[in-house]
Structure 1
């Protein structure tokens, strides 16, 4: 494996990797999944003698045991039994809790992610579960700052939402890998900046706007003016073919042809690229590859779906039989 990511610690170089989808506070289900994958609990947390876990992000928010999930994942990463990339929920939490640089001392504090009702609602369960542990929460925020936006091995890649080769190359030119610094974090608060584009694309994917006046109301009651798109569908002709989210498009819009402006904003991932693993997209049903070299591991765990892992051993084409999951018990 690459020198940056070679398995150091428990048993030398890892023989395989278990990529795990969005946990969203489902700590008990995560423990059941780890046991199913052959991980055992030791003095420093869960571990496997020959494999390393890779979390695709979104450990926090929404679920009943966010604090416990973070404790578990943090212990594994600290011990070297796991790696993790940031999801949009971790990055949003970091921005929500980070004041903008240069605010006047006498002025009200402005944060990189504004404290609007919608943004506050997204983080509400996390902040509530850490209400009695403020120092612990601040320590996790500091830890988020040290986690990468993407990981790459010679054989595969991991990113929370979308592997955009051009933006990742720009980020690497600045930082060398998926990590970032305080200046980058502050820059994400500037609309249109490179940092804002990189953060949005890698952790949230490609969203396209609906025509003016059209909205989508999601199953959890959130009204949206944008929709998530596939990043591996270069041959898509209509918006319906490009759609990648659980909520349907407004009547009549899905059958429209993709406009030249929107086509320029599409991102594609070639069939000849190494396998990439993502989360983020709230899939349902039986886990399987979404393309021969793309695995999405978010199967709506916190909505009583499945917490899913893929057991990767170096193959160039993903094998449907290598998905493993635990159901979330209502």
Structure 2
């Protein structure tokens, strides 16, 4: 991210919602010139997860990559770009892939795999492009990461990878549970989480059975599990009331109010977009589930403001458009 633009427009998880993305860029004053969306004074930054789930993954990738290659946008890696890389990268022992080919993983990636079925060389080119995406961006004014800012992991990673990008060997090692590489990708791209007590299982809205729940990393003095849960699916009341144990606290982080402005995606928020805290914003508002595709227009403010959010209401605006197009 360079300083030759007057402002930065940070855009949340696209997930193949190319129509919504075009509407959002147009709403913010970007115009498509020679195949690239451009703004006369601003630059975009995508928070990852361009692929999977949505109906127009290829089109979304074309739009975003054209902007990045044309110097009109930056991008960081999301967990879905990482998952696709692992799903299609053979394991070193030759007995499979870095990400298991099971029904759950197949279901999440199916839209992307189907849309690229007739374009294998193009897909391989995008996989190479994913490897060029940094895991995070930090400027003098703000930070951006897909799911969670862990200063300890980032400091060590940056010492070994100053450009913020992984290489092939790092990718291979990241599939080994408990390795440093695993911890980096899990924490930065998936966030903090805790195991449900007593081997309990909750069924999420998308039909997955989960033994973990996503947690906040900005709760200063949480006492109970309900104080740290951060996901659309609520905890059962008896679980939410349980006190946080010392061993569980070790898996929680705290991003303090005096740290830089932080942007993230990943968490499937709902309702009207607003800051989580004065210095933390989540830009994922479930666009692919007919929620909102959201951007924040950052200028020179030092704390987040509600009036700086811009969004496309997918159910109201794009759902109607799909119907008109016979989609």
Q: Aligned equivalents of 2:42 and 2:157: distance in 1?
A: 29
Cα deviations across residues 107-139 of structure 1 (Å, max 9, x unaligned)? Answer: xx4111111111111101110111111111111
Aligned-pair distance for 1:173?
A: 0.7
Of 159, 163, 171, the residue aligned with 1:177 is 163
Cα deviations across residues 255-306 of structure 1 (Å, max 9, x unaligned)? Answer: 1111100111101111000101000000000100001000100011011111
Residue 24 (structure 1) aligned with residue 10 (structure 2): no
* Equivalent residue number for residue 123 of structure 1: 109
* Equivalent residue number for residue 193 of structure 1: 179
Q: Which runs of 4+ in 1 moved over 6 A?
A: none
Residue 53 (structure 1) aligned with residue 44 (structure 2): yes
For 1:123-272, what aligned pairs fall within 5 Å after superposition? 123-272=109-258
Of 94, 100, 125, the residue aligned with 1:114 is 100
Q: Aligned equivalents of 1:263 and 1:98: distance in 2?
A: 35
Q: Aligned equivalents of 2:211 and 2:251: distance in 1?
A: 17
Give the CA RMSD over aligned residues.
1.0
Contact 2:193 2:251 in 1 (8 A): no
Contact 1:214 1:250 in 2 (8 A): no
Contact 1:20 1:297 in 2 (8 A): yes
Q: Please give the secondary structure, in 2, of the residue aligned with 1:118.
A: helix
Q: Aligned equivalents of 1:313 and 1:91: distance in 2?
A: 30
Which piece of structure 1 moves more, 263-272 or 93-102?
Answer: 93-102
Of 81, 91, 97, the residue aligned with 2:72 is 81
Q: Which structure 1 residue ranges, 5 or more long, are not aligned?
A: 8-12, 104-108
Aligned-pair distance for 1:220?
A: 1.3
* Equivalent residue number for residue 106 of structure 1: none
Q: Which structure 2 residue ranges, 5 or more long, are not aligned?
A: 320-327
Aligned-pair distance for 1:44?
A: 4.1
Q: Aligned equivalents of 2:222 and 2:93: distance in 1?
A: 45
Structure whose residues are more often helix by fraction: 2
TM-score (norm 2): 0.95
Of 2, 6, 10, the residue aligned with 1:6 is 2
Q: Aligned equivalents of 1:56 and 1:27: distance in 2?
A: 15
